[in-house]
């Protein structure tokens, strides 16, 4: 089976102005990064900037929305449907980010329904999972992420267009980062879960990326872990160091 292509996503969250967007995209467009056969790069600006970013961004990088509605559009004020994203030719969407699970009360089942619906409309999905500090300290990390993954696995049959993003909630924006060993342990556990509960082929081919205070200083050591297939980057994706994180893909290609 072909090696899993390294994947780097930049989640801009609820940040930016039109001017900021131009600056960030200019930095990305001028960056020298590994080729598309080594790394897949996707940036996720807020909804309102998606057309602007898509119009300005280099062609070897793609864009993602940060969320979408769980079914067909209609009388759902304030929501954005998967169909609209398809219409705008936005290929990717992030679903189930811990901020939405925590702040908007999105349950495992709702996230799974969103993933299934987005895939059914032709979108590719970055599906986020991860445990809180309390859950990690209680020793239930694998139970939590397995339950989150199981909810998705029960609703979909084709994993081709899914990237699984493991983001320990305690490491997001806190400056605390999972050690490479902690990240590898969970990624390995998730891959074993997929092997046993979905299929060996899906376990082997599905990219499991890490998110949680990834930056230019720690990305290479994380990228060297055998089951870390890339990153979902938060704050650092708004800075020039995002380019350094993309370059961490060479850690994988040189060892392949």
Active-site residue list: 97, 167
- Round to whole Å and give the CA distance between 128 and 74: 26
Are 214 and 175 in contact by the 8 Å Cβ rule? The answer is no
- Beta strand spans in 53-161 (E): 61-65, 92-95, 124-129
Residue 8, Cβ density class (10 Å: 0-12 exposed, 13-18 middle, ≥19 buried): buried
State how far the alpha carbon of 189 is from the alpha carbons of 105, 149, 170, 231, in Å. 26, 11, 19, 17
Residue 78, Cβ density class (10 Å: 0-12 exposed, 13-18 middle, ≥19 buried): exposed
State how far the alpha carbon of 25 is from the alpha carbons of 88, 147, 157, in Å. 19, 37, 36
Helices and strands, counts by H and E, the chain: 12, 8
Are 199 and 155 in contact by the 8 Å Cβ rule? The answer is no
Q: Which DSSP helix (H) or strand (E) runs through 194?
A: helix 180-197
* Residue 201, number of CB atoms within 10 A of its CB: 12
Nearest to 239 by CA among 23, 7, 4: 23
């Amino acid at each position: 089976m072909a090696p899993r292509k390294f994947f780097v996503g930049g989640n801009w969250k609820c940040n930016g102005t039109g001017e900021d967007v131009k600056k960030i995209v200019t930095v990305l467009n001028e960056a020298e990064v590994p080729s598309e056969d080594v790394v897949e790069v996707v940036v996720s600006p807020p909804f309102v900037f998606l057309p602007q970013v898509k119009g300005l961004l280099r062609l070897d990088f793609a864009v993602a929305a940060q969320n979408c509605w769980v079914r067909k559009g209609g009388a759902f004020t304030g929501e954005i449907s998967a169909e609209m994203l398809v219409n705008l030719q936005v290929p990717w969407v992030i679903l189930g980010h811990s901020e939405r699970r925590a702040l908007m009360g999105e349950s495992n089942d709702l996230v799974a329904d969103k993933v299934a619906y987005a895939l059914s409309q032709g979108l590719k999905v970055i599906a986020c999972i991860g445990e809180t500090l309390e859950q990690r300290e209680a020793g239930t990390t694998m139970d939590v992420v397995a339950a989150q993954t199981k909810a998705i696995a029960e609703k979909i049959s084709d994993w081709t267009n899914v990237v699984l993003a493991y983001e320990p909630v305690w490491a997001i924006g806190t400056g605390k980062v999972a050690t490479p060993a902690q990240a590898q342990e969970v990624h390995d556990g998730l891959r074993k879960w997929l092997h046993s509960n979905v299929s060996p082929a899906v376990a082997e081919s599905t990219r499991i990326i890490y998110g949680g205070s990834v930056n230019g200083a720690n990305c290479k050591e994380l990228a060297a872990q055998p089951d870390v297939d890339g990153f979902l980057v938060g704050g650092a994706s708004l800075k020039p160091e995002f380019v350094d994180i993309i370059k961490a893909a060479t850690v994988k290609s040189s060892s392949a």
